[in-house]
Chains A and B, each alone.
Chain A
Amino acid sequence: MGQLFAVEIVYRGIFQKTLAKNIGRALVLAAHREGKPGITFGRYGDSPERNGVPAKNFAIIATDDLTLEEGMAKYEPKQVDVTIAVDDTLCKGVESWAWYGLQPINRLLKPNGTLIVTSHQTPETLVAMAHRKEDPYQLAIVKGIASFSGLWVYKDDHTDVRILGTVAKVLPQLCNLASVEQVIRDEWHDELKVTSARKSHSQTAPVTVTSLQGNPEKPYEFTFPKWTEMREGIAIPCIPPGHAMEDPNNGKSGGYRPERNPTFKKFTTRTMRPVVNFDTCIKCTLCWLQCPDSCFDVTPDSLYDANMQACCGCGVCEAVCPVDKCVTMVNETQFSDNASQWEMWKKDKEGYHRWLDEKIANRPERSHGFRYRGQYEQELKDQAKTANQG
């Protein structure tokens, strides 16, 4: 048996589907230049046509055909040499549309494998977001935003080739830089992209993550029932009605908190979350009404508290709120828990406002998507600068 390599590209559908596909394709083509057969595919059940849904692409490469066949004789790789996260908020874990429970971003990494993340965050921030792993692994950051590169009208920002250059650095046995460069010339006919890949290759500086670093929480797991334990007729119990909330200050109950899906938490599905200024809220109910995921709990004092079990981070609440800076979307990397903002505010209003101001003042680029005219031009300029300087 020869050597087998596996790379997974974790991305958000539909925005990054083409980006992930292009990375997988280029890796297989680059390895092929060195005589290694390979195959690349998307995780079919992920349904990556859905907005923002975490999804996976894989590239499997081997030193010979029989080894490749052994690597392919499963739905997806059980272990990978490299995990590529093209959206840093995915470091909190992956809850696909297709499976149950939370998969840590580093779950499939082999001991001392490399996690490549596109991010403007520091290694410390990203490591803290990822779950702890028993074996050490490497973290390599490709500086940049969560790219839409390759998706219809979105302009190419070289995220694809910069990642390819990084893979050639961390796993040269898979494909070396020369092969990557040649594939870029063949596929994209763009010498500037070759330069980007080369720069990224030289700038790559992985750091080691030890078993003592990372989020110590045990990721949510789900046990599948046997066929004899399932209700027949493809019928599943509905989520029961909700209940009143309790005021942490005086123990009085009131308001309404809907019961939520016990098996699907949205902790890792969002890229940003709303923070709420409860002191300027005019209780107009619009956020509560318009939220597509019914994520707002009605508090005993008739305020609206975004519950992080249900929030997908779509930003509708911010858009409909009539009060200036009452609801503000902040990038998910800025949060380390999913606690109730309203409870924090009730317990310590001054402390809450310090926290709120800090989140809003320091918020990084919030999320995917088009938000203002001229945005691409600005982002491309920034990306080019980042790609050049590292």
Chain B
Amino acid sequence: MPQAQVEAKVEPQVPVAPVQPTLTAEGTSLITGSEAIAVACKLADVDVITAYPIRPYDTVMQYVAKLVSNGELDCEYIVAESEHSQFEVVKHASAVGARVFCGSSGVGWMYAFEALTVTPALRIPMVAMVGNRALDDPGAFGVEHNDALAVRDLGWQLVWVDNAQEALDTALIAYRVAEDRRIFLPCAISCDGAFLTHSQALVKIPSQAKVDAFLPRYNRGDLLLHPDNPITVAPQANEDWLMEIRRQNAAAMERSLTVIREAYADFERIFGRKYGLPFFEEYMTDDADVVLVGMGTMSNPVRVAIRKMREQGMKVGFVRMRWFRPFAAEELAATLGRFKAVGVIDRDFSFGSPYMGGVLATEVRTALYPAAKRPPVVGFICGLGGREVTVPDVNRMTRSVYLAAEGKAQPGTQWIGLRE
């Protein structure tokens, strides 16, 4: 008798799981953050998608593959032989006018680095998903933000989301912003590994008609690589040209702040879902004495901790950064200037950086420096490698921020949740 049949007999009887509801128009589906991104690809009718497996990004390529094989998404779906090729292929496809999607995680993203540098330089409006993962070594699956942050200086627009609905919505917004002729810069959507990529949540799926109303077709215009528009792209150009080329890209990034605002306003008008100020989300900040600042899914334990602390009379708020590039420095400085002290939680590291801190803390301090009201900033490193950010962790950080607010000097950077 075959082995499988023997085993089947002794297995306990379990109720059959309900069939997953299909993705209907204006329906609600129970899907992961990765699946939400894949659904956005379908709704955006992406033309070319390249893939190369690495956790946690590979969940997206699996869902995209499923959509393609089910006939729900008509696109060129290419599994490359490495991340470098993966990103190069979509770069070229975008140059000839295709809407493209790509993604990776951790050192896979780093393996594509050369392609990642040329993509914004050539003004390619690629949308990529970074399933945030710790960089090797050691080979860890869990979330750190260093992978996506590695491209922060190159012309990539970088956005962090904290739930599957926001992942879907932001992917649509990312296409709208990246493919705007005023911008033509790539956009990477960061999704925390595990907490977002591997957790299923209820997500509203917008109708195709609304998406079509929100997202015009990609029109590469005078930059289209096509026999009818004969151009040469990326010739060698030395010191006589580089400054002007860089300045053009800087100008596009400057315009991005405006275009992002427009896109969110249109998104709210068409889909009816409000995100408020696009660049960061404020939680319980109206009457707050001190606030914490962070990115990604750490918002969940932070919000819970804040509610508990407020029950004890501590006026704490949270500012969750969405857009890291472009960095809305003036808006953030104006907001943070309202509080007595600020604590920045970095799920990343920047060894040897000012005050030995994280990337976000350094940027927040920089944004605040020219501001009229400049509260003290306390930096924290927390949750590396996917380690849980606990409510007691948040309490401990908040106590330190309160001490800073009282004028008591705090260490430049504190590691929280560390065995010591």
> Footprint of B on A, CB under 8 Å?
45, 75, 98-100, 224-227, 230-238, 240
Contact = CB atoms under 8 A, between A and B. Distances in A.
A346 B123 CA distance: 50
Interface stretch (B73-81, B229-237, B297-305): B229-237
A232 B244 CA distance: 10
Contacts of B121: 234
B223 A235 contact: yes
B230 A233 contact: no
A234 B235 contact: yes
Interface stretch (B191-199, B245-253, B333-341): B245-253
Contacts of B245: 227, 230, 234
B184 interface: yes
Nearest to B237: A234
21 contacts: A45-B238, A98-B238, A99-B240, A224-B241, A225-B244, A226-B244, A227-B243, A227-B247, A227-B248, A230-B244, A230-B248, A232-B248, A233-B124, A233-B223, A234-B121, A234-B122, A234-B237, A235-B223, A235-B231, A235-B232, A235-B233
B229 to A, nearest CB: 9
Contacts of B7: none
B11 interface: no
A236 B245 CA distance: 12
A227 B223 contact: no
Nearest to A222: B240
Nearest to B124: A233
Nearest to A75: B239
Contacts of B240: 98-100, 224
B420 interface: no
B222 interface: yes
Given A45-B238, A237-B230, A232 B223 contact: yes
Q: How large is the interface on B (under 10, 10 to 19, 20 to 34, 35 or more residues)?
A: 20 to 34
Contacts of A233: 122-124, 184, 223, 233
A272 B139 CA distance: 60
Contacts of B237: 234
A232 B239 contact: no
- In order of increasing CB-CB distance, the 7 nearest A-B pairs are A238-B230, A227-B244, A233-B123, A227-B247, A45-B238, A235-B231, A233-B223
Contacts of A238: 230-232
Nearest to B246: A227
A99 B237 CA distance: 10
Contacts of A224: 240-241
B244 A236 contact: no
A45 B237 CA distance: 10
Given A227-B247, A234-B233, 16 more contacts: A45-B238, A98-B238, A98-B240, A99-B240, A225-B244, A230-B241, A230-B244, A230-B245, A231-B222, A232-B123, A233-B124, A234-B123, A235-B233, A237-B230, A238-B231, A240-B230
Contact of A232 (B232, B234, B241, B252): B252
B255 to A, nearest CB: 12
Contacts of A234: 121-123, 233-235, 237, 245
Contacts of B243: 227
Contacts of B244: 225-227, 230
Contacts of B223: 231-233, 235
Contacts of A225: 244
A233 B245 CA distance: 8
A98 B240 CA distance: 8
A224 to B, nearest CB: 6
A201 to B, nearest CB: 38
B231 A237 contact: yes
Contacts of B184: 232-233
Nearest to A239: B230
Contacts of A235: 222-223, 231-233
A236 B222 CA distance: 10
B239 A45 contact: yes
Contacts of B232: 235-238
A13 B381 CA distance: 53
A238 B229 CA distance: 9
Nearest to A235: B231
A31 B276 CA distance: 70
A83 B244 CA distance: 32
B175 to A, nearest CB: 18
Contacts of A227: 243-245, 247-248
Nearest to A238: B230
Contacts of B241: 224, 230
Nearest to B247: A227
